[in-house]
A and B are shown apart, each in its own frame.
Chain A
Amino acid sequence: MDDAFKPSRRAFLKGSAAVAAGSVAGAAAADTPDPLITELQDWASYTGAGVDETPYGMPISFESHVVRRNVEWLTASPISSINFTPIHALDGTITPQGCAFERHHSGAIELRKEDYRLMINGLVDRPLVFTYDDIERFPRENHVYFCECAANTGMEWAGAQLNGVQFTHGMIHNMEYTGVPLRTLLQEAGADISPDKWVYVEGADASSNGRSIPMEKALDDVLVAFKANGEALRMEHGYPVRLVVPGWEGNMWVKWLRRIEVVDMAVESREETSKYTDVYADGTAQKWTWVMDAKSVITSPSPQMPIKHGPGPLVISGLAWSGHGQITRVDVSKDGGITWETARLGKQGDSKALTRFYLDTNWDGAPMLLQARAIDETGYVQPTKDQLREKRGENSVYHNNCIQTWYVSAEGIAENVEVS
């Protein structure tokens, strides 16, 4: 921080006193003048940081809690592991890349654009190798999509586990991607695009994360992306090139994409047999559960976002999304699902993208059981956890899109609970 911007000790003490006075005043009428208003503050007198101070900025220090977090006991190694987006503290729909969750199977690798190669081979007329610069010469598109890990909310199958929406629902991010449609590259190589063919995609990292995608999806809306939220992908999100597979489980969004192979059958790789298959109660496993169904969650109030302002106007805010298309409606319940009110969408939702909803309400200070319920353009209504468990049991690991309940106490403290 620039010295000119650093408050003096005297100013710091004065500032602390001002904060204390301000909090005492609260919503009631002030009986003493607020020194933050009546006294000249340093920032209204001295100068701030110069434009040469920060060529690429980080959030202000007061926002240091808005960070990715991990849960050590979830995995054997932080190299093949997950962390969580601080969705409790965000608003709108676009996820800042710097705190957007990571999931790696052999760590985040550093791959220079100069060293990047993309191969397309298999059932193609012309097996090709592209450099990064080649990729940028194809006509490109922009789209906003959510990327949700198949395991998001997966720890919650057997009961309420982790006390924070960041941990229960934070394996997700939503970015505006710039990229080349996969179909363009398939066409360039003269691929056999008949509907019984598959596209196998793999990354440049040691895990490779190979996955099979049916040709119909490959030709539809899959992107070979090189920009997110306006800038290059972050290292941990696949720099310089990743796959974007709209509406489908995050595992298929292969990072550091190095090879696209057209094949006549699914490869049935490790990531689509051992992992990303869902065991139902009778012991049979579901494979190729690609789509992420409609889901929503209230991000505030939530365990990490207690109500601190007391009764009165309250903004209930949250996110909804569906891999089947647009979110058309979100209902909110304050009594654990007995009665529902339809919330307001922050703006019309994009297809297969996060949608923000708000319920502007007046809190009387009584305890609440908060729930949100998403409805998508196919008419699908987000199910309760009991409905899901009735169909699948408790061991399917992935694809838990249940309705989440927060118990909010009279003190405004929120807890992750299950309700009858």
Chain B
Amino acid sequence: SHDGIYGLGRPALEEEVAAWDVDVLPDGRGLPAGSGDVWTGEEVFADRCASCHGEFAEGVDNWPVLAGGFDTLADEDPVKTVGSYWPHLSTAWDYISRSMPFGEAGTLTADETYAIVAYILYSNDLVDDDFELNNENFADFEMYNMDGFVVDVRPETEYTEWRKEPCMENCKAEATVTMRSVFLVETPPEGGSNSV
């Protein structure tokens, strides 16, 4: 066939691409037609999500917190939620639609997913309780932390500084122990045990 082409594989059919290519881009491309409001979302969330994420998306036990945590990113213990941290709404729709609920992924309809996302926005006080999310108004929604991300700064802030011949002798006056791990975690048992 063509130059440098092995002619392996076969053409992907439209239905096949449609089944697997379900990602949603930050500008909303990839969203299916559909809609869902906060009240519907509350019902679906209670039924499908709340057992792990809590009635108000506040998280149960160690399961992820989806709401709250605004303006904590510079704190000692940042709370990174959909509301406080995520830069794009597309990611929430895409991830929930594809990979949630945990253990039953891929079972939500498009309308259910719109409704759940609307409810998560409501739980984050980002929309009113009469808000309806749909494929038309989706791209207009601006996330709270949309400007909070910059591309990897290490080349400028670290690499330029740390590509230098290092000290070999008398590098500092003394070295004293400032923290010991043994106060925090027990030494793992000998043998084939699986956990610390």
Contacts and interface: CB of A to CB of B under 8 A. Distances in A.
B86 interface: yes
A373 B12 CA distance: 50
Interface of B: 2, 4-6, 8-12, 16-17, 20-21, 23-27, 52, 61-64, 73-74, 76-78, 80, 82, 85-88, 90-91, 94-95, 98-99, 102-103, 105-106, 145, 148-154, 157-159, 162-172, 174-182, 184-188, 190-196
A361 interface: no
B181 A415 contact: yes
Contacts, number: 270
A167 interface: yes
A303 B180 CA distance: 12
Interface residues of A, number: 99
Interface string A344-363: 00000000000000000000
Contacts of B11: 126-129
Contacts of B5: 187-188, 190
Please classify the interface of chain B as helix (H, G, I), strand (E, B), loop, or mixed, using the class held by over half of its residues. loop
A378 interface: yes
Contacts of A283: 73-74, 78, 148
A206 B105 contact: yes
B149 A163 contact: no
A304 interface: yes
Which of B170, B174, B188 has the most A CB atoms < 10 Å from its CB?
Answer: B188
A93 interface: no
Which of B74, B88, B174 has the most A CB atoms < 10 Å from its CB?
Answer: B74
Contacts of A126: 11
B162 A383 contact: yes
Contact of B180 (A77, A339, A394, A417): A417
B152 A339 contact: no
Contacts of B170: 338-339
Contact of A77 (B12, B102, B168): B102
Contacts of B194: 67, 69-70
Contact of A259 (B20, B87, B149, B177): B20
Contact of A415 (B12, B149, B175, B180): B180
Interface in A257-272: 258-259, 261, 263, 265-270
Contacts of A417: 177-181
Nearest to B159: A380
Given A75-B62, A127-B11, A285-B73, A106 B99 contact: yes
A286 to B, nearest CB: 5
A259 B21 contact: yes
Given A369-B175, A383-B162, A72 B74 contact: no
Contacts of A337: 171-172, 175
Interface stretch (A17-25, A28-36, A222-230, A274-282): A274-282
